Amino acid sequence: MRPFNDSVMYFAVVDRFQNGNPNNDRGRNPDSYDAGRKDWFKYWGGDLNGVIEKLDYIKELGCSSIWLTPLFDQIDGLVDVEGRGMAGYHGYWAKDFKRLDEHLAGSPEDVRVFSSHRTVVDRLVEDMHSRDMRLVLDIVCNHSSPAQRPDMGGCPGKGEIYDDGVLLTSYDDDKLGWYHRNGCVRDWNNAGQVQASELCGLADFNEGRIGYRNYIKDAMRLWLDKGVDAFRVDTVKHMPIWFWQEFVSDMTFHRPGMFIFGEWFQGGCYDAASVHFANRSGMGMLDFALQRALEDCLARGNGQGFELVENVFKKDALFDDCRHLVTFLDNHDMPRFMSAGATERRVDMALALILTCRGVPCLYYGTEQYLHNDTNGGNDPYNRPMMERWDMDTPAFKIVKRLARVRRENRAVQIGSHRQKYVSADVYAYTRVYRGSCCLAAFNRGADAAVTLEGIELPDGIYKDVLSDRAVTVRGGRIDNLQLPRDSAFVISYCEPPRAKAALELAFILNGFSTQLGQRVKVIGNCPELGNWDLEKGFQLEYINSNMWLGTLPVTGSAGKAIAYKFVVEREGDGVLYEDRPAHIRHLPAEGVLELQHRWI
């Protein structure tokens, strides 16, 4: 499967995006729907037909993957939240992981989503794939549902779980032992409690039961077989890592190379436990640390400014693969960027940064329209307004469109190293570099400024700003007197000539050997592409950070064959250091993209 680093992801809360089928609005419980869209705790009508209607809009924006909130069948009743009845419009209160929620369906028959190949999900997948777009499904393995109010159309208990309509168990009559019974989390510093107790009264699954694990993994394999391309996984910090290692192994065995990323809330480079999760679970992770730095810098006006952002990038070497961090400005669990204090121009700057930095950028629906509602500080549920406009001429829309193209075309943006060129509280500049390709991004949140940048990895010449078409000259790796107006971004992109295409592309990744820019790391092996063990002809990797070297190699003659290989470090004036182990042996597929990631021994 093609990696996601060339993709811009669009995240939509399905119920709040577009109503494509008014016939499903009321669902099984009319009290759960508000036609006037005044009650923020109820369904408002968005559905999968609405997503299909807007695929061309999302494609025009430049987004080639779409993350949708969970599609599973939700509880029908309302839950008491501070005296108000709340429906499962958000998708995180599943009762049947093998059925589609009726509010999202195109017809009543669509609910039994795996009994037909002509459901609205099939149409969505077919229409997306025909546009070279990929579907990311939000999934939940940690919990089912909280208790419902019996006076609001629900059962009095909580946690009923069905297998395509057949009741299996419930929290109140748990004959299968599928639920923990430890009450709510009391000590958030106690990992055992966080993993085995309830979050906000949600019935917490007992992952130790093989019956539960078989059920949830079987359900997710069915969604993959339906055409889902990737998973976003909710509440990963609330289950032990051994469960996720088993889950990811089984999913990637079923769909080799698939992208999975998790939500470790407020995790990132400053949270050691979440770093351990990112390195050992097999998943990528939402980058909350970068989100906080961007919000502090560009929305809240923190005095340290861009130094906060650069401090996050300085810690990229903590991760074995910082490419798998999913970057974002905001989401459905926090106030939107503008509710946190950002102006439209600051939104534009933040978008330009996540679209040019490492990781996989994710855009929360409506950001390109500056959508926000500041009631109660923009906190949940006011961070989930209905999509209101589809204007393709907003500055944010144009920025995303232009930089999404840069991301598709420039390997340095997709997989390259981050090299800081200038940083102060108000002005920030960096390059992304991979082999002969380079992208320069510069930002200014303060008064109009002029800066000189040196050590720019670009050939001499005249370049145009991707965002404004303003021309600048690079001479000897230097840009003199670069003008940066207040609250502006500046981006130039250069791609080395395209290489010959091959049916198979290998990505070699090496972690765990403390190296630095200027050293040479190679892969040598028993095939022509790796020099037939000749060190001089070996394949040289690129420095990404002190914990990561990477290189992508087109493979022709060795595709579909077994190869043996190992990593070598050439140290100036200090000889050659080989991996202290027998060679790695791998049977290569005939085509596709394969990543081979190793830790130095």
- State the CATH number of the domain containing residue 588: 2.60.40.10
Q: What is the pLDDT of residue 1?
A: 54
Q: What is the pLDDT of residue 500?
A: 82
Q: What is the pLDDT of residue 513?
A: 82
- In Å, how far are 41, 228, 280, 360, 453 from 325, measured between CA atoms? 31, 20, 14, 6, 28
Residue partners of 308: CB distance under 8 A and separation at least 6: 293, 296, 297, 302
Secondary structure (3-state) at 330: coil
> What's the chain's average pLDDT?
96
Query: Which domain, by its residues, includes 388?
Result: 9-146+206-410
What tokens does 566 get? 């190992």
Q: Is residue 166 part of a domain?
A: no
CA dihedral 287, 291, 292, 296 (to 10 degrees): 160
Same domain, 380 and 450: no
What span, in angstroms and rounded, lies between the C-alpha atoms of 533 and 238? 47
Same domain, 77 and 221: yes
Q: Is residue 152 part of a domain?
A: no
Q: DSSP string spanning 144-210?
A: ---PPPGGGTS-SS---EEETTEEEE-STT-TT--B----B---TT-HHHHHHSBSTTPPBB-TT-H
Q: Is residue 151 part of a domain?
A: no
Q: 150: buried, middle or exposed (CB in 10 Å: 19+, 13-18, 0-12)?
A: exposed
Q: What is the pLDDT of residue 514?
A: 75
End of a domain among 464, 494, 524? 494
Secondary structure (3-state) at 312: helix
What tokens does 127 get? 């229409």
Q: Cα–Cα–Cα angle for 89, 121, 168, nearest 5°?
A: 65
Give the pLDDT confidence of 250-275 residue by residue, as tens digits.
999 999 999 999 999 999 999 999 99
Q: What's CA 493's distance to the chain center, in Å?
A: 23
CA dihedral 373, 375, 376, 382 (to 10 degrees): -50
Q: What is the pLDDT of residue 601?
A: 80
DSSP tally for the chain: helices H, then strands E: 12, 31
Q: What is the pLDDT of residue 573?
A: 73
| Reported confidence tier of residue 505, pLDDT bands at 50, 70, 90 | very high
- In Å, how far are 13, 185, 329 from 378, measured between CA atoms? 16, 26, 14
Q: What is the pLDDT of residue 154?
A: 54
Amino acid at 242: W
CA proximity to 418, closest of 441, 445, 436: 441
Same domain, 465 and 321: no
Q: Is the pLDDT of residue 574 over 90?
A: no
What tokens does 357 get? 């930095």
What span, in angstroms and rounded, lies between the C-alpha atoms of 352 and 590? 37
pTM metric for this prediction: 0.96
Same domain, 315 and 463: no
- In Å, how far are 39, 324, 430, 451, 453 from 462, measured between CA atoms? 55, 33, 18, 17, 15
Q: What is the pLDDT of residue 229?
A: 98
What span, in angstroms and rounded, lies between the C-alpha atoms of 292 and 392? 28
Q: Is residue 48 part of a domain?
A: yes
Q: Please check whether residue 236 is in contact with residue 264, taking contact to mean a CB–CB distance below 8 angstroms.
A: yes
Per the document, the length of the chain is 601
- Phi, psi dihedral angles at 306 (to 5 degrees): -70, -15
Domain at 486, CATH number: 2.60.40.1180
Domain at 127, CATH number: 3.20.20.80
Q: Please check whether residue 417 is in contact with residue 317, taking contact to mean a CB–CB distance below 8 angstroms.
A: no
What span, in angstroms and rounded, lies between the C-alpha atoms of 183 and 364? 33
Give the pLDDT confidence of 95-151 residue by residue, as tens digits.
999 999 999 999 999 999 999 999 999 999 999 999 999 999 999 999 999 999 776
What span, in angstroms and rounded, lies between the C-alpha atoms of 427 and 414? 24
Among all residues, which ones are annotated catalytic?
Answer: 234, 263
- In Å, how far are 78, 230, 260, 304, 359 from 4, measured between CA atoms? 37, 10, 10, 32, 9
Query: H/E element holding 520?
Result: strand 520-525
| Cis bond upstream, residue 30 (ω within 30) | no
Q: What is the pLDDT of residue 594?
A: 94
Percent of the chain with pLDDT over 70: 98
Q: Is residue 385 part of a domain?
A: yes
Q: What is the pLDDT of residue 103?
A: 98
Same domain, 307 and 336: yes
What span, in angstroms and rounded, lies between the C-alpha atoms of 434 and 11? 28
Q: Is the pLDDT of residue 353 over 60?
A: yes
Same domain, 72 and 41: yes
Give the pLDDT confidence of 291-304 residue by residue, as tens digits.
999 999 999 999 99
Q: Is the pLDDT of residue 333 over 90?
A: yes
Q: 35: buried, middle or exposed (CB in 10 Å: 19+, 13-18, 0-12)?
A: middle
End of a domain among 472, 494, 516? 494
What span, in angstroms and rounded, lies between the C-alpha atoms of 51 and 158? 31
What mean pLDDT is predicted for residues 181-198?
Answer: 93
Same domain, 511 and 584: yes
Q: Please check whether residue 181 is in contact with residue 206, taking contact to mean a CB–CB distance below 8 angstroms.
A: no
Q: Is the dihedral of CA 506, 512, 517, 519 positive or negative?
A: negative
Same domain, 286 and 215: yes
Q: DSSP string spanning 103-156?
A: GG-SSGGGGSTTS-SSSHHHHHHHHHHHTT-EEEEEE--SB---PPPGGGTS-S
Q: What is the pLDDT of residue 124?
A: 98
Give the pLDDT confidence of 358-407 residue by residue, as tens digits.
999 999 999 999 999 999 999 999 999 999 999 999 999 999 999 999 99
Q: Is residue 352 part of a domain?
A: yes
Query: H/E element holding 85?
Result: strand 84-86
Q: Is residue 169 part of a domain?
A: no
Give the pLDDT confidence of 35-60 residue by residue, as tens digits.
999 999 999 999 999 999 999 999 99
Same domain, 112 and 36: yes
End of a domain among 494, 521, 538? 494
Same domain, 89 and 211: yes
What mean pLDDT is predicted for residues 314-333?
Answer: 97
Q: Is residue 186 part of a domain?
A: no
Q: What is the pLDDT of residue 168?
A: 97
Same domain, 245 and 216: yes
Same domain, 456 and 357: no
What tokens does 287 get? 């980058």
Q: How many domains does the chain have?
A: 3
159 phi-psi bin (left φ>0, alpha ψ -120 to 50, beta other): left
Q: Cα–Cα–Cα angle for 126, 127, 129, nearest 5°?
A: 65
| Reported confidence tier of residue 501, pLDDT bands at 50, 70, 90 | confident
| Reported confidence tier of residue 545, pLDDT bands at 50, 70, 90 | very high
Residue 273 DSSP code: H
